[in-house]
């Protein structure tokens, strides 16, 4: 079976920026996050040997989630200039390595990844999503050969997530995660969920009733205090689920057959040498 590696480049740059010390290229430009990204990609590419490789990036435009909820991700500090510069340069790095770059105005990288996962699956490919963001776990599907490779510790270790791993982490099925987060919320995205329910309560409710609709159809099976919380938070629950649900059918103008991985290691060597990435250059495959 052909393999497709889908990279949440925006999330990975964030992780490498905060996990590694700052570095600068000979021309003075910031490169610490880029160095970490390059090392991580070489490691994964060497181990997986994918047929297709795509990097998805966030865009600065407002998304439908911000239209639905103006406080979406509002708690996050503004990105510093040296990080913004590396977001931009990461696109060049990926392209130089032979990695296709896909982004769409007003669309988050998660939704690009969800849509590409569907398209590659329909083409008969095994899909691996490399990310530092656990939102992608809702896409895991053993029967359809879609799994997630998440960062486990800093940026040096990864963990593979199949359905059993998601169940162990959250106590629900991957497909149930948006409903689970409808109740539990997601502090990393400033999504509140239902006040007073929490992760354990969300897990119990979704395991018992399956969906938000199932829970609200059985409100009178629950204790009075819990019923009151759920009734008061009904609107928040459905909004939180919508905010947490990754789109899988955005109108991407992208042909997956054109995303085959054809690395130009000579170009990559020149690029990394110019930025002083000596250890990365030593790890490059022979040209």
Q: pLDDT tens string for the chain (287 positions)?
A: 899 999 999 999 999 999 999 999 999 999 999 999 999 999 999 999 999 999 999 998 999 999 888 878 878 788 899 999 999 999 999 999 999 999 999 999 999 999 999 999 999 999 999 999 899 999 999 999 999 999 987 777 899 999 999 999 999 999 999 999 999 999 888 899 999 999 999 999 999 999 999 999 999 999 999 999 999 999 999 999 999 999 999 999 888 989 999 999 999 999 999 999 999 999 998 76
Give backbone dihedrals phi and psi of 6, rounded to 5 degrees, phi first: -110, 125
Q: Which domains does the chain have, with CATH numbers?
A: 3-171+249-279 (3.40.50.1010), 174-244 (1.10.150.20)
pLDDT the model gives residue 152: 82
- Which pLDDT belongs to residue 44? 96
Q: Is the pTM of this model over 0.85?
A: yes
Containing 229, the helix (H) or strand (E) segment is helix 224-232
Secondary structure (3-state) at 27: coil
DSSP letters for 150-199:
EEEETTTEEEEE-HHHHHHHHSS-GGGHHHHHHHH-BGGGTB--STTTHH
- DSSP state string for 28-44: S-B-HHHHHHHHHHHHH
Pairing verdict, β 52-56 and 126-131? unpaired
pLDDT recorded at residue 71: 78
Task: Please tell me whether residue 65 adopts helix, strand or coil conformation.
Answer: helix
H helix runs in 49-141, sequence order: 64-68, 81-96, 109-122
pLDDT at position 74: 77
In order of 110, 173, 194, 212, 218, the CA distances from 184 in angstroms are: 20, 15, 6, 12, 18
Residue 287: the pLDDT is: 67
Closest CA to 10 of 154, 156, 108, 128: 108
Give 50's contacts (C-beta < 8 A, 6+ positions apart).
3, 4, 5, 128, 261
Separation between Cα atoms, residue 287 and residue 275, nearest integer Å: 19
Chain position carrying tokens 């480049």: 9
Provide the 8-state DSSP code for 220.
Answer: G
pLDDT of residue 154: 73
The number of angstroms, rounded, from the C-alpha of 261 to the middle of its chain's C-alpha atoms is 20
- pLDDT score of 73: 84
- Distance (Å, rounded) from C-alpha 242 to C-alpha 58? 19
User: Token pair for residue 226?
Assistant: 């819990």
Cα three-residue angle 158-160-162, rounded to 5 degrees: 160
CA 30 to chain centre: 24
CB proximity list for 281: less than 8 A, separation 6 or greater = 269, 272, 273
6: helix, coil or strand? strand
Instruction: Look at residues 184, 277, 159, 274 and name the one whose alpha carbon lies nearest to residue 236.
Output: 184
Buried/exposed code over 230-259 (b: 16+ C-beta within 10 A; e: otherwise): beebeebbebbbebbbbbbebebebebeeb
């Amino acid at each position: 079976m052909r393999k497709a590696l889908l990279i949440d480049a925006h999330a990975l740059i964030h992780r490498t920026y905060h996990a590694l010390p700052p570095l600068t290229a000979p021309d003075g430009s910031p490169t610490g996050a880029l160095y970490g990204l390059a090392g991580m990609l070489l490691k994964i590419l060497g181990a997986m040997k994918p047929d297709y490789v795509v990097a998805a990036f966030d865009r600065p435009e407002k998304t439908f989630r911000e239209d639905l909820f103006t406080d979406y991700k509002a708690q996050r500090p503004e990105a510093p200039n040296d990080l913004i510069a590396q977001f931009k340069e990461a696109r060049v790095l990926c392209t130089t390595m032979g990695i296709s770059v896909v982004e769409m105005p007003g669309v988050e990288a998660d939704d690009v990844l969800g849509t590409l996962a569907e398209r590659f699956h329909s083409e008969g490919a095994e899909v691996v999503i490399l990310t530092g963001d656990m939102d992608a776990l809702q896409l895991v599907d053993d029967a359809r050969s879609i799994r997630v490779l998440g960062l486990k510790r800093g940026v040096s270790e990864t963990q593979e997530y199949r359905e059993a791993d998601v169940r162990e982490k959250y106590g629900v099925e991957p497909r149930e995660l948006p409903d689970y987060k409808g109740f539990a919320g997601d502090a990393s995205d400033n999504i509140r969920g239902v006040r007073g329910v929490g992760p354990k309560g969300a897990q119990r409710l979704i395991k018992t009733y399956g969906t938000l609709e199932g829970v609200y159809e059985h409100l009178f099976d629950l204790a009075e205090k819990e019923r009151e919380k759920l009734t008061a938070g009904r609107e928040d629950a459905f909004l939180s689920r919508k905010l947490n649900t990754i789109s899988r059918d955005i109108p991407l103008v992208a042909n997956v057959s054109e995303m085959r991985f054809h690395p130009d290691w000579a170009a990559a060597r020149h690029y990394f040498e110019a930025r002083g990435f000596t250890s990365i250059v030593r790890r490059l495959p022979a040209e």
